[in-house]
Amino acid sequence: ENLTGTAGDDSFVFNAGSSLTGAASGGAGADSFVLAGNASVLLSLNGDGGADSFDLGGFTLTGGIAGGSESDT
C-alpha cells in the first residue's frame, strides 16, 4: 500500500498505533510527514519537490527518507 500526494502541499499524519507497509510520497508541494506515538512506516517517506518537513517523534521507520531538491527539516 502506498500513499501519493498531489502537486500542492500535502500533510501525512500517522497516529499512534498506525502503520504503512509501503511508501508515502508527497509530490511537488511543501509536504509534512508526522509519525506520532508508535506509528510505523516500513518502506520510505518521500518529500519529492518543495520544502518538506518530517516529525519523527516516537516512530519506527524501516526504510529511507528522501527530502527532495529544496530545503527540508
71, 51 contact by CB (below 8 A):
yes
* pTM: predicted TM-score of the whole model, two decimal places: 0.79
Q: Determine the straight-line distance between the first and last CA of the chain, rounded to whole angstroms.
A: 25
Give the tens place of pLDDT for each residue, 36-54.
878 777 778 888 878 888 8
What ranges make up the beta strands (E) of the chain?
3-4, 11-14, 19-20, 23-25, 32-35, 39-41, 44-46, 53-55, 59-61, 64-66
Angle at 47 between CA 28 and CA 38, to 5 degrees: 140
pLDDT (0 to 100) of residue 49 = 76
Higher pLDDT, 70 or 27: 27
Return the SS3 of 40: strand
Q: Is the pLDDT of residue 58 over 70?
A: no
